Amino acid sequence: MSIVVLGTVALDSVKTPFGKRKELLGGSAAHFSMAARLFVKVNLIAIVGSDFPKRHIGFLRKKGINLSSLTIDKGKPFRWEGEYKGDLNSALTLNTELGVLSVFKPQVSEEQRKIENLFLANVDPEIQEHLLKKMHSTKLVGLDSMNYWINTKRKGLIKLLRQIDIYVANDQEARDLSGQANLIKAAKRLCSFGPKMVLIKKGEHGVLFYSQSGLIFSLPAFPVEKVIDPTGAGDTFAGGFMGYLAKCKRINPLAIKKALAYGTVAASFNVEDFGLLRTSRLNSRDLERRMLKFKDCFLF
C-alpha cells in the first residue's frame, strides 16, 4: 500500500529549555513521512530551494521515501525558526521565510495520481486543492492546516473541507475555525463543513476523534517525561494515524482507535529529541513495544 503526502520540507531552527539546534531537516511532510513509512510506501510531494542541503534529500531517500515528485527550484528554502518555553505546549514562531514555498505548484507523477491514500499536510489551501484535483481515485484524504490559513484563507479552506475525509487540527485551530470553545461542539461543527471525520490533537493531553456517524473517541497522550522538542509532533501523529489506516483493508471503529494509538505512540517518540533525530531511527519493533506500554496506561 502507498500514501501520498503533500507538505513542506524545511530547515528548522529551534530553541527549547533543553538546547538549541540550527537548520535541522524539518517540515510537515518530512515529519509525517518518518511515521507513515513504518506502515506504507510514502510518496512525498514538496518543494525545496536549489541550495537545500543535498544530505537532507539523501537522508529522506535512504529512509525509503519516494522523492520522485520533490520539486527542486531556484530560490531559497523554506525556513522556520521557533522557540518553546515552560511546559513546551506551544511554539513561539520567531521567523518564517517562505522561500520557494510561495511559488509552489505541486508535481505528481501519473503513477502517483492513482494512489488511493492522500494526506494534505499544512501548506496553502490553494496548493492543497491543486494537488487534490490532480489525483485520480482517492479513497482516504486527510488534511491538516494551521491558524495562518484559517485567518487568511478561511473560505478556501472551508471549501476544501467539503472534499476530504479527515480533517486534522490542533485544539486551538479547531476552536478558531469552528467558533466553538467546547471541543466536542467544535468537532461537530467542523464535521458539518464536510469531512466525515475530525481529529483534534491536544498535544500532551491526547487526541479527540469525532465522526459524522456520531463516533467519539478520546485517547490520552503517551506519558513522556522528557519532552525535548515538540516540533512536528502533530505531523508525526498524522503520519502514524494515516499510515496505519492506509494499510487497513476496512476502516471501522476498531481500526480508527488503533490508528489513533499508533499516531499517539509515533508522536511520543518525536518529542524525545530534536527534529527528526528520534523518529528517523524508529523501527516497527520500537513502535510495537511502546504500543504495549501505551495500552497498559489505560486499557483495563
| Residue 209, Cβ density class (10 Å: 0-12 exposed, 13-18 middle, ≥19 buried) | buried
- Our CB check for a second copy shows the closer of 42 and 221 to be 221
**Least separation in angstroms between CB 263 and a second copy:** 13
Using only C-alpha atoms, what is the Rg of the chain? 18
- CA 109/CA 45 separation, integer angstroms: 10
- Decide if residue 190 touches a second copy (CB under 8 A): no
**Least separation in angstroms between CB 215 and a second copy:** 9
- CA 164/CA 285 separation, integer angstroms: 32
2 backbone dihedrals φ, ψ, rounded to 5°: -135, 160
**Binding segment (CB under 8 A) for a second copy, from list 25-33, 81-89, 96-104, 116-124:** 81-89
Span between the terminal Cα atoms of the chain, in Å: 33
| Residue 137, Cβ density class (10 Å: 0-12 exposed, 13-18 middle, ≥19 buried) | exposed
List the grid coordinates of 117.
491514500
- Our CB check for a second copy shows the closer of 183 and 197 to be 183
- Decide if residue 261 touches a second copy (CB under 8 A): yes
- Decide if residue 292 touches a second copy (CB under 8 A): no
- Our CB check for a second copy shows the closer of 254 and 292 to be 254
x-or-dash pattern for a second copy, window 208-227, by CB under 8 A? x-------xxxxxxxxxxxx
Cα torsion at 243, 63, 128, 254 (round to 10°)?
Answer: 10
Candidates 176, 204, 273, 286: give the one binding a second copy (CB under 8 A): 204
- Our CB check for a second copy shows the closer of 127 and 166 to be 166
Candidates 258, 272, 277, 286: give the one binding a second copy (CB under 8 A): 258
List the grid coordinates of 259.
490508528
- Decide if residue 238 touches a second copy (CB under 8 A): no
Contact positions vs a second copy (CB under 8 A): 86-88, 181-185, 188, 202, 204-206, 208, 216-227, 254, 257-258, 261, 297-300
